[in-house]
Amino acid sequence: MSDVAPLFNQLSTQLARHSGDWQLMPFACRTLPWPELAAVLERLDEDQLDQLESNPQQALELLAPWRPELSALHAFTAPVLARAADYATPRWSNGIPGRKWAQIKDFAANITAEHAILEWCAGKGHLGRLLAMEQQQPVTSLEWDQDLCRQGETLANKLTLQHHFHCGDALAPEAAALFKPKQQAVALHACGELHLRFLRHAARAGTRALALSPCCYHLIEGNRYVPLSNAGRRHDLGLSRHDLRLPLQQQVTGGERVRRLRHLELTWRLAFDELQRELTGGRDYLPLPAFPKQLLSGDFADFVSWACDKKGLAVPASLHSEHWLAAADDRRLLVKQIELVRHCYRYPLELWLLLDRVLFLTEQGYRVRLGTFTDIHNTPRRYLIQAWRE
C-alpha cells in the first residue's frame, strides 16, 4: 500500500492527545471524567445510549462539537479485498459454523500460492485443507492440540491431500524453524503474541509471502505492548492489556440475547464491585476475570460465590442481592456514558495497531497491502495484512 506514515503519525498524535478519553477503566470511575460532556451525556437514557452504541456514526456526530478530531480519525477506510465466489459447503466442511466458513472462504479467495504453504495456529486445519485443494501446493499446519492434529490428518488423508500437521507450540523457539524463504505463510485470526511471533519469524526467515488476520491484541506476553515498527516505538502509546482490549469491544454478530446477557453481566460485575468494597473496606475497583457464561443462567448469589472464590474473599453469610443490584443500576448508566466516548476510539486504535504491523513489514523489505477480507457481519476482526518479498 502507499506510504502510510502520515496516517500513522496523525493517529499517534491524536490518540496521545485524547488518551484521557480512552485510556481509562470505566468500571473504576465513580463520576463522569469529562465535565464538558456532562450536559450531552447525562440527558441520554439507557435505551438511547444502547442505540448510539450500536450506531458509531451517530455517536461521532453527537460528540463532534466537543471532539471534532474524531471524524478525521475515522476517515480512512481500508479497501475491500477479494471475496469468495460462493459459500457452498463441501461434505468435509460439515460442522463448521456458517460465519466461520464464510471467513475461511473469503480469506482463501485472497491467496495465490506459488510455494508450499505454512498454516499458523491451524486448529483442525480447515483453512489449510481448502488451500491444499485450491492451490495444489503442499500444506503444513502448525497446531499444539494433538487431538485436533489427529482429526485434521484424518480428514486430509481421506481427501488424499498433501496436507500434514506439525504438532507443536507456536510460542516455543523451535517453531521459528517452520518458516522458509520460498513459502506462503498464513494465519487466520491468530491471537496476540501468536501473530506477533508469526510476523517476527517470517521476517527473520525472509518468507516470500504472508497473509495475516490479527485477533485478540491483548493476549501478549508482557503487561505492556511493545510496538513492532520503528515508527511505533517512536510514538509508543504505552498500551496496557486493558487498552488493547478496546478494539475487541464490538458486537456485530449477536442479537437480542447477546445484548441481554451483556446487560446482565455488566450489572452483576458492578453489583459485586459494590459488595467487595464493603467486604474489604477498600475504595478501588477490583477487576474480575472472564467467566463461563453459563453463570449468567443462575442467580446473583452463584455469581458472588464464584467471584469471591476468584478473589480470595469470604462469601457473606447473608447476601441482600436486591440491595447490591440496585446499587449497580445507578452505576451502569455511568459506565455506558463513559463507554460511549471510549468506544469512539476503537477503530482508530485498531488501525494504529494494524499500521504498526504494516510499517514493521515495510521496514523489513516487504510490499504490503491492508484491507478487509470478509463482511463485517461475519466478524469484526476482518482485516487482512498481506506482504510479499521479491
Question: Looking at the predicted structure, is the pLDDT value of residue 366 above 90?
Answer: yes
Looking at residues 63-84, what average pLDDT do you find? 96
Mean pLDDT of the 146-169 span = 97
pLDDT > 90 fraction of the chain, expressed in percent and rounded: 91
pTM for the full predicted model: 0.94
Residues 25-38, mean pLDDT to the nearest whole number: 95
Rounded CA gap, 114 and 183, in Å?
8
Say whether pLDDT at 255 is over 90: no
Q: What is the pLDDT of residue 310?
A: 95
The angle at the Cα of 182, spanning 177 to 188, to the nearest 5 degrees, equals 70
pLDDT tier at 2, thresholds 50, 70, 90: low
CA distance 351 to 74: 9
The answer on pLDDT for 83 being more than 90 is yes
The Cβ-side half-sphere exposure at 272, using a 13 Å CA radius, reads 25
Per-residue model confidence (pLDDT) at position 3:
86
**Would you state the pLDDT for residue 322?**
95
Query: Which distant-in-sequence residues (6+ apart) come within 8 Å of 69 by Cβ?
Result: 14, 17, 18
For 32-36, what is the mean pLDDT? 97
Determine the pLDDT at residue 66: 97
pLDDT of 250 over the 80 cut: no
Given the C-alpha cell 494433538, which residue does it identify? 146
Residue at grid coordinates 486504535: 349
- Say if CB 247 and CB 346 are below 8 A apart: yes
Extract the C-alpha cell encoding 28.
473504576
Q: State the pairing for strand pair 116-119/163-167.
A: unpaired
Query: In angstroms, rounded to a whole number, what is the distance separating the alpha carbons of residues 163 and 133?
Result: 9
Quick one: average pLDDT of 141-153? Answer: 97
Nearest to 256 by CA among 88, 54, 66: 54
- The total number of residues written for the chain in this structure: 390
pLDDT at residue 254 above 60? no
pLDDT of residue 251: 62
Find the mean pLDDT for residues 273-287. Answer: 93
pLDDT band at 186 (very low <50, low <70, confident <90, very high): very high
How confident is the prediction for the chain on average, in pLDDT? 95
Give all domains of the chain, ordered by start, each with its CATH number: 6-59+255-344 (no CATH), 91-247+351-388 (3.40.50.150)
244-256: burial string, b at 16+ Cβ within 10 Å, e else: bebbeebeeeeee
Whole-number percent of the chain with pLDDT over 70? 98
> Closest Cα partner for 388 from 166, 115, 193, 132?
115
